[in-house]
Structure 1
């Protein structure tokens, strides 16, 4: 068989890299569960028509079907596609199981997703996402819009990454302000503002006039609003100083100030109100969040989300939600590519039991079984080579200890220091820091 050609956009980590990814996933899972979120997993496929409802183009959805489909794929209702995010599956899951769920429903979900876009740094065709959401039935209290970014800030602070900046905005502010200045195409204005960091204020002003129907004066006012940022109530004061007042604007300002002040108290310096954040505001209805790594802003947002007033609806009942999603593969790729962290070893094994001869392998396997029974990850040497070669095998894998069974008693060697001492498999335990692989910042 010829050497296979890698498929771009489908990352495969080596064992030591996978250990870093596993650490990230474990931290996220543990943090979410500490805050009362229950884990779920949904199927990988959804009906294509459901996937396309969120605005994804058909070019980005991977269709799924048998090579020899009996109906030739003629029935569009039966067409399935791989989910490109975890929000569409969540909406379907809530509708399907609403009678068995307790609301507010706090859920986290960590799964693979697939998106048929052009691969580039930080963007993959197959990647892992970690979502955390709270879904209500008919109503959902605002305090969950405050809780979600604080949970995410706690999770990210426990990862081997630089500090994060969570930028927050509120759809009500933009909509209320634009209405107040007589600008009716809110979505068009938001799409233009979303390009501010890429093309600058002059070009955005032109887009506001050309695509959103703004006058030059309205474009100037919209850019003044987008320039405001801060971590306290001064944000609202600066918005009001622009001379625009509407009930919806005031509601959005009150919510934004409550969020940033709570965050400044809990996680100082992490959350900032940034009224230029516009991505997603056309389908979010309240708070919206975008997260970047300080010093790695070129990577773009690693975690985003917001409030939906209608995550799902069955016609008689509406389920509002608020959530955040982390691009785990995107984050791990930067951790590995920038050398931000590394695993202490490539394998979980803490002890390699040496084999004196193949006739004595059973004895080595008995030692390994005794250590495993006490929760110590243990492997047995693959061959009865010279002990020096077996030690080198352990060293290549990063295994810290080699165990030598002996007729007059066993001994264990720390191959890093060279220290060797008598040991009993019924009682010996490695130091806590050596029991399992660890991931450390580099």
Structure 2
């Protein structure tokens, strides 16, 4: 019986997932990120101190646990990969070369309400760069370039990475005279969910904002742009603060760098804040064109204070692709397909069970040259063996004989072939993933 929020893909979907993961992995490595895997569990207090709510963390305990009162010993499944990564950096900083660039592709668990594209067990693919003491800002500008290249390599709709900088928002709120900037951020982050009127009322209620201050916060949140014009629009609101200046300069750098690499990839969007408390500067959210209603499929940001040892800090910047989320949304809309339901390229037909050993030898010769091959399960009539291949989308059937022949069952063309040298067209060798 299926359990809500814990997806299990069928083999064709799993092949699409593997294809996507291969593209992600190869792009991450092209940019010099090294692979890492951390344990699935962390102490509960570590998880709860980084901005996640206790109702979303899954606890881990033995079935026969006697004493559940020892809070300090409780373990929880990680809800993202950034918190475990920060802990890993702290524990291994003496063995790492900085700046340290890593990628992680792992399952995470979050006890939120399941819906289309949003699960309780899901796969994430993260990249982060951390450094000792200070991290140069140019790493913030690199993150969207990597993600842009990943998405460009996949048969999916174009992606738009929305970027903001918390310094812009916090400096602006401070310049308005609102001191509890974190609360203002959290409130404005609800804009898409509850609308401007309710956000304005909440700002008055939670931080004592006047109508003028609330209106200014909402005006800032309306600003977006794919070029540097957003800076002038923020300046036109007439608020000044040194932190605001710093944030605008940084945000402009991200937008301009991405615009040169891939026009249209990045857009400054001053309403996004990201929910997690540990972000301190640049924040990213990514939407697929035509799928905006599903929200972000890739997000992240800059964090200054997530990891430290004594007086040494390890600031970082990272971004995470919600692989299961992305695929779940696209599967739900039949937007991805695969050319066959199995990896097999060739089925070797079996004329009689006495000849099965010869058929296995042919399959072995093909496999040695990298051609995915299986031998027919029974020595049925050749028509049925062809049907067996056809139902699975396998393009070729090999007939042992004097000489051997191979048939493209799509076109009906049948030619003589030698297992030691025959080669299918490159497009047929492996299943092909396409836009649905």
> Shorter-chain TM-score category?
over 0.9
Number of residue pairs matched by the alignment: 436
- Please give the alpha-carbon distance, in whole angstroms, between the structure 2 residues aligned to 1:275 and 1:308: 18
Superposed displacement of residue 189, structure 1: 1.0
Superposed displacement of residue 282, structure 1: 4.3
Corresponding position: 1:243 with 2:238: yes
| Alignment match of 2:215 (pick from 216, 220, 233) | 220
- Map residues 42-441 of structure 1 onto 2, 5 A cutoff: 42-69=38-65, 71-280=66-275, 282-406=277-401, 408-441=402-435
DSSP-derived class of the 2:306 partner = strand
- Please give the alpha-carbon distance, in whole angstroms, between the structure 2 residues aligned to 1:424 and 1:353: 13
DSSP-derived class of the 1:261 partner = helix
- Please give the alpha-carbon distance, in whole angstroms, between the structure 1 residues aligned to 2:118 and 2:388: 36
DSSP-derived class of the 1:413 partner = strand
Contact 1:190 1:281 in 2 (8 A): no
DSSP-derived class of the 1:310 partner = coil
Structure 1 unaligned spans of 5+: none
Contact 1:304 1:324 in 2 (8 A): yes
4+ runs of 1 displaced by more than 3 Å?
Answer: 71-74
Contact 1:402 1:414 in 2 (8 A): yes
Contact 2:297 2:322 in 1 (8 A): yes
| Alignment match of 1:29 (pick from 25, 29, 32) | 25
Superposed displacement of residue 195, structure 1: 1.7
Structure 2 unaligned spans of 5+: none
DSSP-derived class of the 1:284 partner = coil
| TM-score normalised by the chain length of structure 1 | 0.96
1:70-119 C-alpha deviation (Å, 9 max, x unpaired)? x5344333222211111111011111111111111111111111111221
Q: CA RMSD in A?
A: 1.3
Contact 2:161 2:267 in 1 (8 A): yes
- Please give the alpha-carbon distance, in whole angstroms, between the structure 2 residues aligned to 1:55 and 1:177: 23
Contact 1:107 1:134 in 2 (8 A): yes
Contact 1:185 1:213 in 2 (8 A): no
DSSP-derived class of the 1:304 partner = strand
Contact 1:47 1:79 in 2 (8 A): yes
Contact 1:190 1:282 in 2 (8 A): no
| Alignment match of 2:7 (pick from 7, 11, 17) | 11
- Please give the alpha-carbon distance, in whole angstroms, between the structure 1 residues aligned to 2:431 and 2:413: 20
Structure 2 CA distance for partners of 1:281 and 1:96, relative to 1, 3 Å: closer
1:354-390 C-alpha deviation (Å, 9 max, x unpaired)? 1111111000000011111111111111111111111
| TM-score normalised by the chain length of structure 2 | 0.97
Contact 2:50 2:276 in 1 (8 A): no
DSSP-derived class of the 1:311 partner = coil
Contact 2:4 2:114 in 1 (8 A): yes
DSSP-derived class of the 2:329 partner = helix
